[in-house]
Amino acid sequence: MPSDPIISQLSLEEKVSLTSAADWWRTPVIKKNGKILIPHVKTTDGPNGARGESYVSGVKSACFPCSTCVGASFDLETAYRTGKEIALEAISKSANILLAPTVNLIRSPLGGRNHETFSEDPHLLGVMGAAYINGCQSVGVGATPKHFVANDIEKRRRFLTAEIDERTLREVYLLPFQIILKLSDPWCLMTSYNRVNGTYCANDPRLLDDILRKEWGFNGLLMSDWVGTYSTHKAIDAGLDLEMPGPTKLRGDKLVCAVQEGQVSETTIDASATRVLELVRKSGRFEDSEDKDEVYLEDSGRDEFIAQSAAESAVLLKNAYNVLPLRPASNIVVIGQHAMVPTVGGGGSAKVDCARLVAPVTGLQDAGVQFHYERGVPVFAAVPLPEPETLAITGNPASNGSTQKPVKLEWFNGSRVGENTVRVQMLEKTEYMIKERWPMYLDPDYCTRLTFDLTPKTSGKHLVSVLTTGTATLYINDKEAFHRPQEQQLQREAFYFFRSKFERTFNFSMEAGKRYTFRLESWATEPEALARTIGGAVIQGSGVRFFESVDVPTQIKSAAVAASKADVALVFTGTTNEIESEGYDRETMDLTGDQYSLIDAVAASNPNTVVVNYSGSPVSMHQFIDKVAGIVQCWFPGQECGNAVAKVLTGRVNPCGRLPMTWPKDLKDHATYGNWPGDDNDVIRYEEGTFVGYRHYDRTGIPPLFPFGFGLSYSTFKLSGTHIVGQFSGPDGKIQVATSVSNTGEKAGKVVIQFYVEPPVYGIDRPKKELKAFRKPLLASGTSGDVVVELDKYAVSFYDGTNARWKFFPGKYKVLVGFSSTEIVDEAVFKIVEGSTWQGL
């Protein structure tokens, strides 16, 4: 019999119902005698903002810096505060569980979800993840570290198998989760889509039960990734408590039958149902079971934190002859699309529809910087949406300055456009999507009509795209302009994640100032196309996108001329959330479009050219690194983008971010080259073993463009006097490492002190050194301070796969202290007299 008295009151069917979600975000509500016996809990994405339950509802959220930006802070307080602030956002969305943080490794610079995670280094990933979790749960919202385990690639993530030897799996890919469970107590954990060594993680009792629960002592709830449950009895026997999302596909009646037929014991059902119940208790739903309306709340303190944390995470990569900070009264030219329309977050489930967005041009203006702006070159993956000021309601006067939404969307049941109207909406954007749940008013066989007027600002052949998961015909001024047939190979998130892969484009000649009426008629996705998707019918949508013709050579020439007249030229570059996104990986590190040509032309006109780059992952910079005076990496910095970059460029914040991943010169230099993105049999081989990131560069001697942990400052720092305190003895042994750091420059600033451990040579092919601690002190100009860190068994151990235990040898260990993985400036030695082995945490 189950030990919990509430579980004892439930039938088998009710207990089984608790093991799968009721809808896209919520667990079921169990009622007895008309009263709620067990309330639901509600989840929300994601790592850099709590979006709420709908991608399309219009409820806004705060957008925080992406996780690589947080990782670049090398600051546990920043990670803690980020988790706490996003948890408060989750509360405003009536959610109890935040689906974050992501702690998968940045294995390749091309990973589509790199922006969602902190680092290439397991230690940095683990300690930052634990701090984020502790911050999140400090306000009563459960955290969900994900994705367990080795979900490091997006291509065919539901089908591939990651082939990893046991030592690599333990030391690199499982270690961040192990550290998280050592330093925090997450309420939940999410399994990954992929297989590891042939077995789906969601079905693997060794990973979920033997390691996670028995060895590490995890007692929280295990949920699947969305549509990441692959079996009825294997998954729940392995320990997967909750199938997400609902309605269920593999549990419900199927699981009841599995119990009745003896495939699954009722004790197993009781255990998972009890963990769901415990999550409800922790979430406080018994005290407050109301599902409140989602809201957006203004919070100036939160916004300032976003700006300050993004500024302190920016990495100054080059600063020749101190071109930065900008000098007062300088003649500045600001160039590039990203200065006016910045990318503040990556794509996919981490995407946040932010309530406010401070562009760099606005941030610089507010900071008192006088500048001239040049548009530069266009940067996009999918064709952008039409600019709001170009749109108007069909037949109405131009809506410039109007608050009325300009796009009309009509829904019709049946296949005849204009008949059997079931809903009419006015939209801000020229596209729509059915997501999370099927509308009550809509039949599976439906059609729509989307109408709006558009007035281009320029004349020329403009770029138009049509997206639809079904069939669509676009009419411009009542004449057919484009027909889009049914796409046969739909992916589940085709309309949300894959616009750049999914759109079809054409050119259409238009005159500046002339008004054109667009009408898109579209039909439901055909059943045979839906049958080939994962996740069912709730994926559908249609839309029109538009980009005005741009004379790129003229734009580049104009920017170069403006730069030639300026003291400093700031060129803003980067990727977008449709280049770096969940669902697919990048194919190249190169910046898209004509951005390199723009940089070349500007740099040739002005030696004081500074590139300010926005991306969640490394981009190729070898093309211009020797041509420009300065480079600032700003990541995806969140909604206060402009305020953050203004703080850094003007010197109000002394740059103190450091690279949380190695920045290669060329993809061919990287450890994953040749083993990314896998073969035609959905096998991806982790042949680099434990030599990921900077470990690979240490081993091969290949110089990266920028090493792990690298970053410059407007000040200078010196380390000295590193020494060991204490003696290391046994598996519970600990030592302290102390060093003195001095600010030898003219400005106050923070600096990241990094502590790497180099093991003795014992015939084991181990990395030369590994990061095991870091600190980030703040020092005034001309002052010094002491930094002390503690090292334990995690700092000296490797995994002995033969004996299935962690192990460390006796001998001399070096602690290498420095400012990056290649700038080691001091060291100390400690001895371990007797080796040992250990398991668990």
Would you name the residues annotated as active-site residues?
A: 225
CB under 8 Å to 560, separation ≥6 — which residues?
601, 602, 604, 605
Whole-angstrom Cα distance, residue 647 to residue 714? 13
Which structure tokens are listed for 816? 């290498």
**H helix intervals, 606-748:** 641-650, 694-700
> By 3-state DSSP, what share of the chain in percent is helix, strand and coil, each rounded to 5?
25, 25, 50
Greatest Cα pair distance, the chain, in angstroms, is 85
- Contact predicate 657/65, CB 8 Å: no
Torsion of CA 702, 703, 707, 712, to 10 degrees: 170
Calpha distance 108→618 (Å, rounded): 10
Cβ contact 255:264 at 8 Å = yes
DSSP track, 815-831: EEEESSSS-EEEEEEEE
d(CA 506, CA 473): 13
Q: Return d(Cα 107, Cα 157) in angstroms, integer.
A: 15
CA dihedral (251, 252, 257, 259) in degrees, to 10, reads: 70
- Provide the β-strand partners of residue 612: 572, 632
Give dist(CA 97, CA 76) in Å, integer.
22
Q: How far apart are CA 459 and CA 510, in angstroms?
A: 6
Phi, psi of 164 (to 5 degrees): -135, 130
φ/ψ (deg, to 5) at 21: -70, 155
d(CA 287, CA 293): 17
Interatomic CA distance for residues 200 and 508, integer angstroms: 48
Residue 161 CB coordination number (10 Å): 19
What are the start-end ranges of the E strands in 713-777?
717-725, 735-743, 749-750, 753-758, 770-775
As a whole number of angstroms, the distance between CA 474 and CA 60 comes to 30
- 3-state class (DSSP) for residue 728: strand
- For residue 749, give the nearest of 131, 320, 325, 360 by alpha carbon: 325
Contacting residues for 269 by C-beta, under 8 A, at least 6 apart? 12, 15, 16, 19, 236, 255, 259
